[in-house]
Amino acid sequence: MTVAVIQFGGSNCDRDAVRALDYLGVDAERIWHEDGLPEDTTGIMLPGGFSYGDYLRAGAMAARSPIMDEVRAATDDGTPVLGVCNGAQVGSESRLTAGAFTTNKSARFQCEHVHLRVENADTPWTEAFDEGDIIEIPIAHGEGRFEITDERYEDLEQNDQILFRYCDEDGNLTEEANPNGSTHNVAGILGKTDSVAVLMPHPERSTLPDIGGTDGQGILAGFQS
């Protein structure tokens, strides 16, 4: 079981991701995007960072790189894929998930701890939680505002594809608790199947007990199942 953490030029959370996965006992290695996916890949993580300097739109360039064809093919076989932050932007730009992540409502880069409400606990990424649980995980992004057409949003809701929403510490979905102005406070969603997920917050930054909270462990545990 090896999780390929795909490193693009400008990725910068790839090492953190490998360390966090190692801590959870999940074999993981960094894979340079030009080298392609190793044969023994059993999971794929698209890490945070600033791939291609966020040229054009965050994630736009990496989403069109050849390794993403391999990632798409792997998702067809049910290989778990998790996109975090810039990886979430790459995931949506490559149409693995619906909608788009664009400029924060504040027009600023925001680096802070946020609360998330677990909206669907029946997925590999949220099995560790119960629906309605409130977890705390950091964000660090300038383009995390989730935008989607009304029609596609209804599809997401009906198909139970919304994983997390930004909330206050009591679980209320308020505007103040929505750090970037995301549509209906959406922080993370599923792809066509629940083996594919993207989220803007950083679970790998809240996994190692030495550096603070550990709520991210439950999300990364999706690679264990």
Partner 1 sequence: MSTYTATVTVRLKGGVLDPEAETTKGALQRLGFELSALRAADQYELDLEADSADEATERAEEMAERLLANPTIHDYEVSVAEAANAK
**Using rule CB under 8 A, residue 100 touches partner 1:** yes
**Using rule CB under 8 A, residue 105 touches partner 1:** yes
Q: 126-156 burial, b for 16+ CB within 10 Å, e for fewer?
A: bebbeeebbbbbbbbbbbbbbebeeeebeeb
Q: Which of 157, 159, 175 is nearest to 167 (CA)?
A: 175
Asked whether 47 and 35 are in contact (CB, 8 A), the reply is no
- Active-site positions read 85, 202, 204
Q: Which of 9, 12, 30, 103 is close enough to bind partner 1 by CB under 8 A?
A: 103
Q: How many CB atoms lie within 10 A of CB 196?
A: 26
**Is the CB of 101 or the CB of 223 nearer to partner 1?**
101
Asked whether 3 and 34 are in contact (CB, 8 A), the reply is no
User: Contact region for partner 1 (CB under 8 A) — 17-25, 56-64, 162-170, 205-213?
Assistant: 56-64
Q: Mark residues 137-166: x for contact with partner 1 by CB under 8 A, - for none.
A: --------x-xxx--x--------------
Which of positions 59-88 make contact with partner 1 (CB under 8 A)?
Answer: 60, 64
Contact footprint for partner 1 (CB under 8 A) = 56-57, 60, 64, 92-93, 98-100, 102-107, 145, 147-149, 152, 181
